[in-house]
Amino acid sequence: MARRFGVESGIIGVTAAAVVSVVVAGALAFSNVGGPSKAEAEGVGSQKAKRAAAPVDSSIAHASDRPGRSLNITIDDGPDPVWTPKVLEVLKRYNVKAVFCMIGPQAEAHPDLVKKVAAAGHKLCDHTLSHNTGMDKKPESYQSQEILGAQKKIEKAAGGAQVEYYRAPGGAFTPYSRKLAADHGMRPLGWNVDSKDFEGGSVATIESTVRGELSNGPTVLFHDGGGDRSRTVDSLNRLLPWMQSQGYGFGFPKR
């Protein structure tokens, strides 16, 4: 200490300082129990500020943010420990970025995959907690729980990356769910081309379906969860280079 004390005042002063130190340390320790770290708090704060500063359109997005001949690749129902890494490998091989529409509990169970998706430059999308395709017939309280609960799980698993889109299971949007998503920074996301890779068709069938529907618009739907996605992986391996040979580039859905 810089200040000098006499014998008696020194004892009293040191004792008082010690008591204050203990009290302050205890208060700081108590305030941090169960609470976020400074970095976490700043991350959450910056996300909230970003959402507040950039209002999101509540209409359903289909268009690409990339000008010209462009496609948006979207991948639903993961993350899956078997198929998501394989899909990521194919996307990396052809330097394509995609939107991964994740189910909340799946993201919570596989945070390493969520982080891997975000770190590779792909975008995150909220695909609800339970993938209920009857969402549009449920009460608003249910819709809110499904959407916001999944967003929270995905963003926690991602370690800071923002969920930028919301895709209703089966396209079961409502005016309420679209506005709710937009108010929380997520643009409702539709699709123009359904690969139907979940129907169990051959790779050739999936490829033919996608090629035949590309004139419908830029947003293409595939899956990396919900079952055996080996045909999806093989289809992407054939379709992505073909798309590039046709002069297509790849962007993200407009926000």
Give the residue numbers annotated as catalytic, written as ranges. Answer: 76, 223
Provide the 3-class DSSP secondary structure of residue 35.
coil
**Whole-number Å distance between alpha carbons of 43 and 118:** 15
- Euclidean distance between the first and the last CA atom of the chain, given in angstroms as a whole number: 57
Buried b (16+ CB within 10 A) or exposed e, 214-228: beebbbbbbbbbbee
Instruction: Kindly list the distances between the CA atom of residue 255 and the CA atoms of 23, 43, 81, 154, in Å, as whole numbers in the listed order.
Output: 49, 21, 29, 19
Beta strands at 193-194 and 219-223: parallel, antiparallel or unpaired: parallel
H or E stretch covering 97? none
**Whole-number Å distance between alpha carbons of 101 and 222:** 10
**Whole-number Å distance between alpha carbons of 198 and 123:** 22
Tokens of 73: 């690749």
Tokens of 152: 């929270």
Task: Return phi, psi of residue 249, to 5°.
Answer: -105, 180
Among candidates 176, 181, 118, 187, which has minimal Cα distance to 151? 181
